[in-house]
Structure 1
Amino acid sequence: MEPVLEVKGLQAAYGSSQVLFDVSLDIGAGAMRTLLGRNGMGKTTTVRTLLGLTPSRGGEVRFLGQRIDRLSPHRIGRLGIAVVPEGRQIFPNLSVRENLTAFAANRSRQAEPWTLERIYALFPRLRERERNMGNQLSGGEQQMLAIGRALMTNPHLLILDEATEGLAPLIRQEIWDCLAALRRAGQTLLVIDKYVERLIGIADRHTIIERGRVAWEGSSAELDADPAIWQRYVGL
């Protein structure tokens, strides 16, 4: 079966400074892959380049078999890639309900698509705060809203950049539980987060980036068997 996402030899730069060098990875349908590494090593740049927000300088990105590394971010999004960005970036002056429904679509043509009611069942706190503005929510509630908003597009691929950054431990657990539930439901996921031990329990495979290059790639079992890899490349 063809991967949902296939990245080969991806390169990117900011001006004259090259940031990504020959990054390759693929994600099969219904799989969860993580992108790991210390801050500043190229994880977010990889995501930005996949989404067309940072132009690629080389390599190839294919999504559902179609080459997308020369498409605009708008066209890439419409193909069925949704992102929960670092910093959440919800609309502060829209209510929870308006944030969720503003861009609702069924990009992947699901027979049972994500709806407002399904999002509220996944995150009951959002139902309680339905009429609150985005800027009236806590950080954890904003992250729930950002995930819900992305799911409302019913994407083929959901990307979470810094999935639990800055969240309290109980909220982090809630987000991880959500990711595990999405994986069980067959949602294809690419997740950036730093809590390797928790990710091993729910993800299929992992890619570690060091200074814009793939330093290690393997399964959860392989990563679990060698904690020295975490300490070397992730610092946990």
Structure 2
Amino acid sequence: MSALLTIENLETGYGPSQVLFGVNLEVQSGEASTLLGRNGMGKTTLLKAVFGQLPAWQGEIRFLGEKINGRSTEQIAQMGLALVPEGRQIFPNLSVEENLVAFHANRNKGEKPWKLDDIYELFPRLKERAGNMGNQLSGGEQQMLAVGRALMTNPYLLILDEATEGLSPIIRKEIWQVLARLKEAGQSFLVIDKYFKELVRVTDRHTFVEKGCSVWSGDTETLQRSPDLWKRYMGV
């Protein structure tokens, strides 16, 4: 496997306040990965730096082998990096179908790109609600739409920030099942979520962050054999 996303010694923050103090992270092609840590440890700040919303003060971010420090969010997205943001951020005045087709592209140049029917097969509820406006959807339906919208760009790497935040247990389970299907299909993704014990069942590699530093990285088997890591970095 080759690295899709590589972050080395990343430092950044907001104004004079430093948040990240040398983060290292790597996501391989075909890999399902997590970024784990308590609230306020720098996970979302890291994503903002990856997507060009914050400058890298030190260190380097590479995607598909190219340095992306200093590139715009649009340029990074067009390279084939897609984000399902915390808060979903769908267009409320567009229908479900319009939200999906507006973002259709084949950025990873795959032979079988995600199309509208594929998203409806993945999320049957979206097909039922195809004509409804974004602001007429439940929180769970909006999250399905946000995931489907990102997949419609056919990214090399899909990133989900707080993948099941605020969702009911039934919808959370459905999102995890979708992630399992994406993994089986070979879609590379990186997920942030607080329901980590369920999440690790459908992912391969994990990175913990603590106070703006990456403090541990390893595979699922190693993590499941190390309950002390859960307690130390997740408080359980």
- TM over 0.5: same fold? yes
Kindly state the Cα deviation for residue 140 of structure 1 after the two structures are TM-superposed. Answer: 0.5
Query: Is 1:4–1:27's contact at 8 Å kept on the other side of the alignment?
Result: yes
Please tell me the residue identity of whatever aligns with 1:38. R
Equivalences, count: 236
Residues 67-102 of structure 1: CA distance to partner in whole angstroms, max 9, x if unpaired? 111211110000000000000000011000000011
**Superimposed CA distance per residue, residues 5-34 of structure 1 (whole angstroms, 9 cap, x where no aligned partner):** 111111111001100011011111110110
Distance, in Å, in 1 between the alignment partners of 2:81 and 2:164 is 20
Distance 2:133 2:234 in 1: 36
Matched with 1:87 is: 87
Aligned to 1:38: 38
State how far apart, in whole Å, the 2-side matches of 1:188 and 1:216 are.
Answer: 21
**2:2 matched residue in structure 1:** 2
2:202 maps to 202
CA distance in 2, matches of 1:37, 1:22: 15
Q: Return 5+ residue gaps in structure 2 as ranges.
A: none
Structure 2 equivalent of residue 139 of structure 1: 139
Aligned ranges 1:63-142 → 2 under 5 Å: 63-142=63-142
Task: Write the letter of the residue equivalent to 1:132.
Answer: N
Counterpart code for 1:193: D
Query: What is the TM-score of this pair, normalised by structure 1?
Result: 0.98
> How far apart, in 2, do the equivalents of 1:93 and 1:228 lie?
47
Question: C-alpha displacement at 1:194, in angstroms?
Answer: 1.2
Corresponding residue for residue 52 of structure 1? 52
Q: TM-score with structure 2 length normalisation? A: 0.98
* SS of residue matched to 1:59: strand
Measured in 2, the distance between the counterparts of 1:180 and 1:2 equals: 21
1:21 aligns with 2:24: no
1:131-184, Cα deviation, whole Å (9 max, x unpaired)? 110011011100000000000000000000000001000100000000010011
After TM superposition, give the deviation of residue 235 of structure 1 in Å: 2.3
Aligned twin of 2:234: 234
**TM-aligned CA deviation for residue 228 of structure 1:** 2.2
Hey, what's the Cα distance between the residues in 2 that align with 1:207 and 1:216? 6
Of the structure 1 ranges 135-144 and 193-202, higher mean CA displacement relative to structure 2 is found in 193-202
Report the AA paired with residue 216 of structure 2: W
Q: Deviations over 1:171-208 (max 9, x none)?
A: 00000000010011011101001112112211111101
Distance between the aligned counterparts of 1:229 and 1:165, measured in 2?
22
Matched letter for residue 203 of structure 1? T
What value does the CA root-mean-square deviation take over the aligned residues? 0.8
Equivalence for 1:167: 167
Counterpart contact for 1:196–1:230, Cα < 8 Å = no
Taking the aligned partners of 1:198 and 1:223, their CA distance within structure 2 comes to: 13
Q: Is the 8 A contact 1:61 1:69 kept in 2?
A: yes
Contact 1:163–1:192 under 8 Å retained in 2: yes
Pairwise CA distance, 1:227:
1.7
Identity of aligned residues (%): 58
The unaligned stretches of length 5 or more in structure 1 are none
